[in-house]
Each structure stands twice: as C-alpha cells, then as structure tokens.
Structure 1
Amino acid sequence: MFDDLQQQFNRSFDSLEDFADLISDYLQCPVTIEDANHYLLAYSSHDDETDQARVSTIIGRRVPERVINRFWKDGVIPKLNYSDEPLIIPTIDEIGLGNRVAISIRKNEEVLGYIWVVDVRGILNKESLALLKMAARKARNQLLQFNLQRKKKERNEQELLWQMITGEIANYTRMKEQLLRIGHQQDQSIAILIFSIKDLSKDLMKQLTYLTNTTQKMKILIHTFDEDQLILLVAPKDKRTFVEETEQFLHSFLKQVNDRFDQDFQAIGCGYPKEDLRTINESYNEATAVLRLKQLFPRELKSAYFYHELGAFRYIDLLKRTPELQKLATNPALEKLATYDRENQTNLMETLETVLDYEDQLTKAAKKLHCHVNTLNYRLKRIKDITMIDIKNPVQKIGLYFDIKLVRKKH
C-alpha cells in the first residue's frame, strides 16, 4: 500500500482538490486542506459522511470562528502548531464536530496549513496516521508556492493601504478595483483602527497577523505594522452601528490576544468610517489623535477608543495645538499650589487633580489617593486656604480642570 501511495504522491497534481481526493480515497474518509489562517484551500469530493463543522467550512470557505476558538481553548491548535505528528480530536458536539484527525503542514518551524480528516466511523489506525504524515510532507511544496503568492498579495495590499493613509492615491479607479478584489463591497464605508504595542517582536507580529486573518467579528480588509503599531483597514457592516460593532470586535480581539498569547495593547485608537474612499486618511488622523491623547492622559482616557469619547480632552487637544496657548500665563492659583508642594514635600496638586477627575466623589477620590475621607477634606480646606479658589463654583471648576491638565503636560 505504501509503495503504491508513494508512487501516487510523486506524480504531479492538477489541483489541491485532486490531492485531497487521493488522500480521501486511501483513508476512506472526507478530507479538507486549509491554509495557516484556516481558509479552505481544497476538500475531497463525493463524501457521504461528514459533520456540520465541515459543511460550514465548505460553505463559508473558512473555518467558523467558534470552531477556531474552541480549538484554541482545548489546546488543539497549539498542539498542531508545535508538532508534525497527527492529532486525534474526539467529537465536540457543541460546535458540530465529529471525530477528527488533523496534522499540520510545515516547513521547519513555520506552519503552512493543515490537513483535516473526518473519521465518523472511527476506522483510522496507525497505518492511516503514517499515511497522513506522508501526505503532509507531500503537501509542503504546494503550500509553499501558495504562501509565496499570498505574501506577495499582502505586500501589494499594504502598499495600497499606505497610499490611502498618506492621501497619495495614484489611480482612484484602480484603488477601488483592488479593494473590491480584497472583499470590499460597492459603496461600503471603511475605517482605520490602530493598536499601540509595547515590544513588538517578529513572533508577536505573526500572532497578531494570524488573529486579524481568522477573526470574523469584523471584516478586516488590510492590516500592516508600523514601528510599534498594528494598523487595520476595516469595513463595518453598517456605518450607523459602527461604534457598537467595533466595541464588540475589540472585546473579542483583546480577549483572544490576552488568552492565547498573554499580550496586551498599550492603547487603541479608532477612526470613523468614510464613504468617500479618498478621505480614509481622515479616519487615520482621527485614530492617531485618540492615541496621542491617550498617551498623554493614560489614566483619564483608559476606556476611550473614539474621538467623541475623549470628552473635555478634545478641547484640551485643540488648545495644546493653538499657538496662543504658549502666550497664556499659568493659572496663579496652580503656581501657588505647585510652590507649596515643592517647599513642604506635599502632593496637594495631585489631590486637587484627583478630586476634579472624580467630580467631587470624595469617597472614590480618597480611595484613589489611599487616604481617609476626613484627611481628604482637610487637604481640600488647605488647598482653598493657599489658592483662594472655590472648586464648588462650576465656572472656576471647569477652568481649573482645563488648566491643571494643560499645566501637567507642559512640564
């Protein structure tokens, strides 16, 4: 059998479908071949016995995200990625998965794809597993060629994204055609999401690329990396519900990054969707504005993703970029407080800022400052004595909030 199969494998194949059919004929089980991002490349024909997970994969041309998530949760994908041995996967009814055997197709440490065999009748034995290893070795060359084509396609897409971001679109019609080939629909809005990452290594870039290619919570048209940032060009289902859709996607994406790779992002900025594809650089500028302010005020803006969620900090951003701001004198009350802190080794400026941040919720402010509420009340009385300001006066309070944020970032 093995000699015969070796001869069969050594011949050339017109397509991966022919190769999948050959494996299926010998194993007498349905076979699918996927790329490293779980997109369907080929599947065997004339399969009477199958399961719902395989049917959904064939219809959608990619493995359903709930199946991928379950495989990660159960350790299936990590085991396949770090071994060249076949892996037996028992039935998982919750995701419509029957008995399976899978193996990764690899070149050294790089995973090129996977072969999946549905074993509904439980007929595969040691000889079958050895045959599957042989098939994975044979598939390597075919998937290597596929990977080269995919990487070239990704480079072209990333070049297109940078043209759009910089506003240097050489040919608008050609750009629209390229986006349509990627999966963008006519008249569909697009937007930019940016993730700031600390210590972006090559391994982490691979892991994030994998996630952007496998997520199905949002349509990601193009991704690229720029220094310490992951940049996504996304196409929302509906412009009117973009914020809600994005927040759901971010919740899922951040959880997967943390659960699977034990990583977190420093900050995230989201631009708004644009109907005119030539104005996507505006979405990019909106996302970078959010990131810039989150880096300046990480504590205050921890939960903000969109420009409208920045609240008063939108105006602080405008003020900081206004030349006239440099001519304005610092609030004398804050100068007095800063001088008092320096001379007396106190932190009344921090106390005032925290109370303003928590909108006079003294219990929460005291907890943040690690002091008793009575101690906080004493400090506030001291601040009033030194500065002669009344933080209960709404006009003074708003002005003071702006002043203290601008002063803190001047120094």
Structure 2
Amino acid sequence: MRPRVNLGRVVDDLGVTLLEHAHGDVDRPDEISAVVFHDPSDQPVLPAHALVLGIGVDDPGALAALLVALGQQNAAALVVRAPVPLTDEVRAAVDSAGVAVLGLRRGATWNHLSDLLRSLLAPGADAGPADETLLGGLPAGDLFAVANAIASLLDAPVTIEDRNSRVLAFSGRQDEADSSRVDTILGRQVPESYARVLHERGVFRELLRGDRPIFIEPIPDRINGFLKPRVAIRVRAGDEVLGSIWAAVPGPLSDERSAALGEAANLVALHMLRVRAGADVQRRMRADLLNAALGGGAGAHEALERLGLSSQPLLVLGVALDERADADSASVIQDRQGLSDAFALHLHAVHPRAVAAAIGAVTYGLLPLTGTPDRAVRILQGFQDRLGGRLPSIAAVGPVARGLSDVARSRTSVDRVLRVLRDGRPHRRIGRFDELQGEALVSELRDLAAARGEKPAGALARLVEYDVLHRGNLVQTLRAWLDAFGDAVLAAESIGVHQNTFRYRLRRVSDVGQCDLGDPDQRFGLMVQLRALRPE
C-alpha cells in the first residue's frame, strides 16, 4: 500500500526548483525502484527502473553512450547537470533507450537531490495495512504530498522544515515566491544571513512559544532577505518541537486560513512521527535480518533470502568509531547511530542490494562481490574520506564469503581486525583480514594470557626483575634487538644509544637472562612472551 512514485511524480514535486525535463517520456507508470550514483570507473549494478545520477557527465558522446547502457539495464531516467547537451545523437539515444534525461539546475547539489529523492521514494515504507497508510487522507509519511495540500489550502508555496531550519519537503509553485525561497530550497537550509535577521527580530523565539501562526514582515532584499511576507507555525508532538511550516504569502492570513494552518501543523506532526517510526522499524528489521545472516544459525539462509543476498559471493564489512573512552556516553551512542546511518547510505549508493546495520558498537555491511576484494577497501576509504575528522572511524574487510557458513566466519574475521585496529597496531584505519591475521592471533594470545593470569617466567622474568632492582633497560634492549631482526646498529638507533653501548647491554641480556640469543627457539619464545605479556 505504499504510494507509488513514478518519474512523473518526481518531476512534479522536484521540478521548476531542482530539476528540468530535458528529453524523453516522464509519464511512464513504472515505480522508481532506487537512486544510484553513476561512476564511470566502477559501474554499479542497477535494479530495474532505477533513477541514475550522472555526476560529471557533460560530454554529448559520453552521455549518449551512457544512455544506451542504461537502456539495456531498464533504467528509468538519467539526471545530469543542466544545461543538458541535447545534440541529435543524445536525442536519438534517449528515444532508442527509453531513458528520460533530466537536468539538475545550477546551484543545487547532488547530495541535496539524493536526499530529497530518497525521502520522496520511500515515504511511510512498511506502512502496514491499508487502513493505517492514510493520515488525514494523505499517504503516511509523504511530506511532499502534505506540503502540496497545505499550499492548496493557503494558496501559497510552502516548505516544511526541521528544528534546524533544514528543508524536508516543499510544495509546487515555488517560482511564485522570491529569491530567498529559491536559495533556501537549493541549499536545503535557510540562508545564514536570513536566519540571523530572523533571530535578531525574535521570530524563532516567538515561533517556539505558541501554536498559532505568526506573520513575518519582509526582509529587505539588499541583505539577501525576502520580498514577500511569510507566515510560519511550529510543528510539535507533545512537548517536542519537530519543525515548522513556512508559507510565502501576499499578506496576513484570514482567520479561516490561520485555523486551517494550525490543523495542518497537527497533521504534519503525525506524518513526521510516521517517518521517524518507519525509519526506526526499518532500522530494527534490517539489523535483525543482518544479525541472523551473520550469525550463521538456522535462520541465516532465510535472512539472506529476505535481504536479497542469497546464492552469491558476499563481502562482510565492518565500521566502528575509533573510541578510546566514554564508550557508553550519550554523545558516543549518538555518533554510533550517525556513523551507522551514513555507512548504510554509502553502501546503498555503491550497490542497491547492499545492506548495513548497527549490531552493538559495530556497523556491519553485506556487499555483493563485484570485481576484486580490493574494491571493498576503496569503498571504505571513500567513506572515511567523506566523513573527514567529524566521526573518526576504523573499518575492516573480511574474507570473501562464497557460502552460507563463510558469512559467519567472515564476520568473526571482521571483529578480529577491528580489535587489532582499535589497539593501534598497526597504525592504520582500514584493515583486511588476510593482511592482519598475524596481528589478530597475537591479540587473541594476549587475551588468553590475561585470562589465565600469565606472568613473565624464565629468562624474561629474570630480565624484568633486574630492570626493577637496578633501574635497567635490558627488556627494552632485547625488544629493540628482536624487532630489528638482530641488527645491532639499527636497534641502537631505535632507542637512541651508541651501538657499542647497545652491544654491551645485549651481552648483559644473555648473562642476566641466562639465555642463548643464538638459539632460534629461545629467540622465538622471548618474542612471544614480549608480544603476549608486554612486561614493560
């Protein structure tokens, strides 16, 4: 019962302000299935009727070739940056492939378009039975439909914004407003200069205090304000303010329209809560299915089938915050959720059937294998580059899972790699199990020694005791020599002493420890003790 969103609906809701129809049929009834970014160096796998975002595609020849390829995969439309180079070759490719071309207007960002498209394509998903899918006669969670309905009531273009003045949805007829409204929608955020004036006028303070609409006089356009007045009303559920509704009007509203806007605010609150609830339900369901698939138990096969990932090679990925302390604080929990949502969005852009969800402190992803496993490292690197330093994270790639039992083993490998990265060995943020298996084994050996209460014994114990009694550095000398593979010169440089001094200390290691450093078995035993017990 989820409302069907076809290409015509996308053009109707996002056209004029964000998109322009360049060429091709936009009235096909097929529902848009997904939004996919086009990458010329790494072709994504498209579901049928996908809407493809062609970033950087501006050459007519490349555009025509891409349209032909998209037609073979039954894509619905291609969006490129306007103005679209509509040569005869491009027009012929559109007509032959049956893939419409839309232009993203100058000033609009691809991320903004992607976010709005995804919110438009999946309003009120998993809405349940038919009698629960309508709120106020409109599809549950469809904020664009609600904005259009309010615009009809008020006879004015409308935006619905969240608590941070970010645009969640907007109605048609935005071209009837002024330049400030266009800038708000293109930037998906109220311009800073405009917001500052509203704060100075006390508009936001007044907006949050009451449930009645407030009338806002025009702000002179010389400071990037607006020429038309605004009417705004807060949207709340109980004591929580969810956002606000803004309409560009010619003058104050009549009593009847003010009352209608107040009722509309209550309806918007229900839809916003429905969107939030739907997202929570989807997140929990995705996490449950992914947990079952990664667990490898009796329900793993069914879980993979429901996720659409059965009978194909898979890569198990894992990301986690690079947290050192306060792991249970509210801010860390919030950051974990933000990291999980961002990773899920990133993976979905890479492959439409990829799935990700947070399970405990780790967000796991299942990605169908296309190309080599090295591609997964590039995907994780791209994700971390996009995050920058805002959410410092570590990431791991498990071995390729070619069967059901392999998925659980690959998940375990991901956990082992994350443990190595979290301990800071080696100094990197992304790791593959086939590169870090040795480090993972050492970490597990260290855990086993700690669980048993192991203490240094034999030669290492004698060296530790000597260092404690004489404030010596024999353990440091031994470690440096072993790390340098017996190169005394290199080892001496690593701890900042003269090589003759180092050689003297090394002889003291043999004498005090009563060990033969020429014996490979004794050397290996000392290396294991130093790694597992960390006597320093």
Maintained 8 Å contact 1:194/1:288: no
Maintained 8 Å contact 1:194/1:269: yes
**AA aligned opposite 1:221:** V
**Counterpart selection for 1:381 from 498, 503, 526:** 503
State TM-score, norm by structure 1: 0.59
**AA aligned opposite 1:256:** R
SS of the equivalent of 1:158 reads helix
Name 2:427's counterpart in structure 1. Answer: 302
Matched, 1:218 2:347: yes
Change (3 A) 1:110 1:303: farther
Maintained 8 Å contact 2:157/2:173: no
**Counterpart selection for 1:283 from 410, 415, 426:** 410
CA distance in 2, matches of 1:33, 1:186: 43
Deviations along 1:42-91, one digit per CA (max 9) or x if unpaired, are 55346557969968xxxxxxxxxxx78x99x99x9xx9xx9876999xx9
State TM-score, norm by structure 2: 0.48
Matched, 1:242 2:370: no
Matched, 1:205 2:313: no
Maintained 8 Å contact 1:192/1:273: no
Alignment of 1:17-32 (within 5 A): 17-25=144-152, 26=154, 28-29=156-157, 31=159
After TM superposition, give the deviation of residue 106 of structure 1 in Å: 4.9
**AA aligned opposite 1:384:** L
Deviations along 1:200-244, one digit per CA (max 9) or x if unpaired, are 234532343234324544337232242xx2332243784521112
CA distance in 1, matches of 2:232, 2:503: 70
**AA aligned opposite 2:334:** K
Matched, 1:170 2:296: no
**Counterpart selection for 2:363 from 225, 231, 240:** 231
Matched, 1:144 2:276: no
After TM superposition, give the deviation of residue 282 of structure 1 in Å: 1.8
CA distance in 1, matches of 2:149, 2:499: 80
**Counterpart selection for 2:316 from 184, 191, 194:** 191
Maintained 8 Å contact 2:232/2:244: yes
**Counterpart selection for 2:288 from 135, 159, 163:** 159
After TM superposition, give the deviation of residue 176 of structure 1 in Å: 3.6
Name 2:117's counterpart in structure 1. Answer: none
CA distance in 1, matches of 2:363, 2:419: 15
Alignment of 1:11-410 (within 5 A): 12-15=136-139, 16=142, 17-25=144-152, 26=154, 28-29=156-157, 31=159, 43-45=170-172, 48=175, 106-107=236-237, 136-170=265-299, 172=301, 174-180=302-308, 187=312, 189-195=314-320, 197=323, 198-214=326-342, 216-219=345-348, 221-226=355-360, 229-235=361-367, 238=370, 240=372, 241-253=375-387, 255-257=389-391, 269-276=396-403, 279-294=406-421, 298-303=423-428, 305-306=430-431, 307-310=433-436, 312-314=438-440, 316=442, 333-354=459-480, 357=483, 365-366=494-495, 373-374=496-497, 377=499, 380-388=502-510, 399=524, 402-409=527-534
Q: How many residues align?
A: 342
CA distance in 1, matches of 2:481, 2:263: 68
Maintained 8 Å contact 2:460/2:526: no
Deviations along 1:357-401, one digit per CA (max 9) or x if unpaired, are 5777568734xxxxxx33x64652343111349999896998377
CA distance in 2, matches of 1:153, 1:292: 29
CA distance in 1, matches of 2:384, 2:337: 15
Change (3 A) 1:138 1:318: closer
More helix by share: 1
Maintained 8 Å contact 1:34/1:113: yes
After TM superposition, give the deviation of residue 255 of structure 1 in Å: 1.9
SS of the equivalent of 2:356 reads strand
Maintained 8 Å contact 1:271/1:286: yes
CA distance in 2, matches of 1:178, 1:201: 34
CA distance in 1, matches of 2:264, 2:236: 11
Deviates more, 1:144-153 or 1:268-277: 268-277
Q: Which runs of 5+ in 2 are unaligned?
A: 1-134, 209-213, 222-229, 349-353
Instruction: Please identify the structure whose Cα radius of gyration is greater.
Output: 2
CA distance in 2, matches of 1:365, 1:377: 11
After TM superposition, give the deviation of residue 153 of structure 1 in Å: 2.6
CA distance in 1, matches of 2:444, 2:337: 35
CA distance in 2, matches of 1:109, 1:397: 70
After TM superposition, give the deviation of residue 163 of structure 1 in Å: 1.2
Deviations along 1:9-39, one digit per CA (max 9) or x if unpaired, are xx92323343211344437436467899x99
CA distance in 1, matches of 2:244, 2:400: 36
